[in-house]
Structure 1
Amino acid sequence: METSQVNNAALTRSPGIASASGNTFGCLVRFALANIRRRPERFVLSVLGIALAIACVTVVRTISSSFAITGADSVTDVLGEAHLWVVPAAGVHYDPDAQAMIADGAAPEIDVPAGWSATRILSGRAEVDGVPVSLRGSDETPSGQAAFGSALADRLGVGPGDHVDVGGRDLVADVAGPGQSVTVSTSVAGAVVGDHGWWTVNAPAGQENRRDLAQQLSAATGLESTADPSLAPDPHGGGLIYDTVGGTGPLSFEQKFSALFSGKVTSSTLGLISTIGLALGFVIALSSFLAAVAERKREFGIMSSIGLADEVLYFFLVESALVFIAAYLVGVLGAGVAVALVIPGIATPVAWAQAAGMVAAFIPAMAIVGALVPVHRLLQQRPVDLLGAR
């Protein structure tokens, strides 16, 4: 009796699965690899088609992440420890050549409440050794000195004690703090950029965490305030107060500014093309699996007729996962090489890693749907119909 039961159990599984060592998942992986070896050209073409689409999306997302990092860093470079940012009516903009924020007009005249402190910073664009840089003026910088941010010093190859020409003045370089700007005395900056600039404002000690600082300064100066960095000042107004500590929502002002930079890339034509490319890659994968099903109807008909319908589904899920994993690795690595060679100044390893993580979130859903659609069509048919397929 026991021998008969063992024989009957053996008949309920395919010979390949029954004789394989290891667990069921290992069997399915070996089964999928065997099918890939049987049709290597289809596997290679599917992987390359999906990888190309993934690489396209990864490149765009890398650029987007780089701009997001740049946006956050540029605002941090401007604000430092300040609580509020008062910009001119003409606004400010990010200069991609100088890689920093630059004022487009004169800072408004303001009177801050008693106990508050405000620092007027001149801001404009200048050249150092023929390279465009963000030039800022501060009363705290000694005359005859130019304080370079570490990022700018690395970009220009400037070290402490070097002599540099800024606006026709021979200044001694110093490296202080991060950022892409060079700070000189107010008199030197004024001779180069005029009165263009902004204010950074600090609240009195003990009030730093109040959520209504912008409203208080707005009432004292008559200037409008906002916590939304996407809003530009009224060109006919006196200026605008950016609230960097208040506002609503879980995001900080720097994070909002970062998202604003990132959104400009993903919402552009380049972002649309990358999304279309990812959809085409999925269509390529789906077409490949549909063709595989059409070729192997008799084989799957035999499996279904002996009670292995579930294994058919699991087999395609595993094979689909292998295709998408291989395509993902080829795609993101290819994208990394592309951005490193073509746009090394924009794309950073951190931005590439963030982009790779974003793209990875799509892969499980695409692999599952790519397997379910052809298998669903297959299992809707009776095993006898599959056995009679040619």
Structure 2
Amino acid sequence: MGQLPTGTRALHEKTEPKGPILKMRSISRSGRKEDGPVKYYRDMDQLNALIDAQNDHTFDLVPDNHSGSLNVHPSAPRTPRFSLIRATSVGPVSLKNLLACLVVLKGGQVSIENAQIFDLRVHLSKDGIVPKNCTVGTLALFNPDGQAEIERIYIENCKILSLRLPRNLTARDVEIQNVEFISTYEKDCKALTDTLERRPILDRASFGFLHDWAVKAGNSEIAHLARGNELAIERRTATKGLERFILSLWSIFGNFGLSPMRPIIWMFVAMIAMCVILFCTGTSLSIPADELVGWRHALQDTKDYSGALARAAAGTLEGGVSPLSVFSSRRMVIPNSGWIAGLQVLYGYFCIAMFLLFGFSVRRRFKIS
């Protein structure tokens, strides 16, 4: 309890209100009483011009309920800072190039680009949401009112500390491209935890809900991604013991299936290391020299050590294919040291485990039965 995802402190420092708060309200709200300084705007062009002109303020933006659209596209070199953006719109909502502490949106197609938002809550419409190139502390998505189906959720090039999804997501399609979901905890965050009212959390259940949706929709890519991130969070929340140990090994060597080439890389690193060890400690042939035929003549000793290198390579491949072949009389290359023979057994099982992790990742990604 009280733990925060990695990156919470840095994002909070970037997005927390600084300087005087300036409220931005549409001209139709001019008759309402507001506490503090207020600027009124007629349309989106005037709103963006006012934002560009106020370089030393943090903005509080609340358009009229059911406004036609909201387009915040500041062009000033300085990225404007918002303490709050709260909008209910029947038209599109577009936010670009800003910092925000809290954004609450309802209705209309939501497009967010090049933004850093600590807390983003979106009550989705049938048109969906498209965040690009964003860093978000908490991304909370809510199903639309009634039984409307969300057309599309598309997230690209984002970093998300905490994802919160409804149990029964009603999206027609979900695409997630090059998105980093945080699955580790911030260090020494007690002081920050005590000061935050809205805290990001590692929510394993949301990835479980996303996985369930993807399985029903037949989207193997999202199912694969959701399950991997769900396991990454389980690793952090698991009690110490065998479960935590297995999940930690899976994370190191396979990234829970999200990095299918990682086990292959580990296997090749192990093969290179074993080849070097065999070359340095020495090997012998189990086959008499006069019985060598074909390419096996390359395994004989030579003045330039090519024979020793060939035997090390052959011994590496033999051990990787069959862990217990070191005890077989049919094996061509035998290590000179007994402890190397034991190490080759472990090396062989390690190579098999890495290949199985690779196969499991590919199978889950492409739904191979």
Same fold (TM over 0.5): no
- The TM-score normalised by the length of structure 1 is 0.24
- Where relative contact order (Cα < 8 A, 6+ residues apart) is larger, the structure is 1
Structure possessing the higher radius of gyration over alpha carbons: 1
TM-score w.r.t. structure 2 length? 0.25
Greater helix proportion: 1
Structure having the higher strand fraction is 2
